[in-house]
Amino acid sequence: MTEIPEHLLQRSRERRAALGLGGGDAGAAPASPASESSGTEVTPAASTAPAPKPAAAIEPEPKAPEPLPHYVQASQRRQRIPVWAVPIIAGLIFWAPIYIGTLSPPEETGGPVAAGGEVYSTCAGCHGPAGGGGVGRQLSDGEVLLTFPDWQAHADYIIVGSGPYEGQVIGDPDRPGGAHIGGEFGIMPAFADSLTLLEILEVTLYERVTHGGADMESDDIVSLLEAIEAVEAGEELDPASLSPGAATEDPPDSAEPGPADSP
């Protein structure tokens, strides 16, 4: 058996101690690195000495925690409500009750006044979009009610136009500011042929309410609304009821026995 010089054993111990293996002594003689065992048969040392190395290499392996997927990281970085969305959301909170309010049924849409407003588009060219006048007389600011205190004479004038009134009083002879005389201001066309009776009653209503400022509850307007309903229902409207002064003069009662009936 070959003697291992003491200085080599010492080195081996130091080396083992440095590697943290400890406890090594003569029994573990072959531990000394092969490179340094000049001439001695210590080849197995080559396999035993580096053994701790893999153990050391494995150690740092668990250090890197599994990184989160990029989409999870992005969702963690992202702000829950973007800054620009804050005023929009605040605005929506105020807008919601306004929107809900618009869902309730609109008032009076599609009523006879609105229907008359559509008919009035044929009159607006001469009388102005708001009835302020132009080629035709002013109707607004109550003017039309001054000329025609009753709707019947008003409607009749639209049916026949200014022709039959040439040189005669239109409507109220005691009109404030002087009676209107047919043809004085110009020619008002007759609408008997171009508008239906219903349309004429509707535009009469529109002018009296919108331009004249008539009260929807007044007897005159209630009476006109009844006439509109009757015509809508297909009832015939007695043309005599539209003749000027029909509303003020009592129409002759046919039931009353006249002189012609007596033998």
- Interface ranges with ligand HEC (CB under 6 A): 122-123, 125-127, 135-137, 143-144, 147, 154, 157-158, 162, 165, 170, 180, 182-189, 191, 203, 207
In single-letter form, the type of residue at position 221 comes to I
End-to-end Cα spacing for the chain: 178
Q: Could you tell me the smallest distance in angstroms from the CB atom of residue 139 to ligand HEC?
A: 6
- C-alpha 214/C-alpha 221 separation (Å) is 7
Two tokens at 154? Answer: 């008003």
- C-alpha 23/C-alpha 10 separation (Å) is 13
C-beta closer to ligand HEC: residue 32 or 120: 120
Q: Could you tell me the smallest distance in angstroms from the CB atom of residue 94 to ligand HEC?
A: 43
C-beta closer to ligand HEC: residue 33 or 183: 183
Angle subtended at Cα 126 by Cα 218 and Cα 209, rounded to the nearest 5 degrees: 10
- C-alpha 81/C-alpha 166 separation (Å) is 76
Q: Could you tell me the smallest distance in angstroms from the CB atom of residue 230 to ligand HEC?
A: 20
Question: Hey, what long-range contacts does 222-226 have (CB within 8 A, 24 or more apart)?
Answer: 223/151, 224/151, 225/112
C-beta closer to ligand HEC: residue 33 or 133: 133
* Residue where the block lists tokens 């092969």: 34
C-beta closer to ligand HEC: residue 111 or 189: 189
Q: Could you tell me the smallest distance in angstroms from the CB atom of residue 225 to ligand HEC?
A: 17
- C-alpha 146/C-alpha 125 separation (Å) is 22
Q: Could you tell me the smallest distance in angstroms from the CB atom of residue 165 to ligand HEC?
A: 6
C-beta closer to ligand HEC: residue 21 or 126: 126
* Residue where the block lists tokens 């007759």: 190
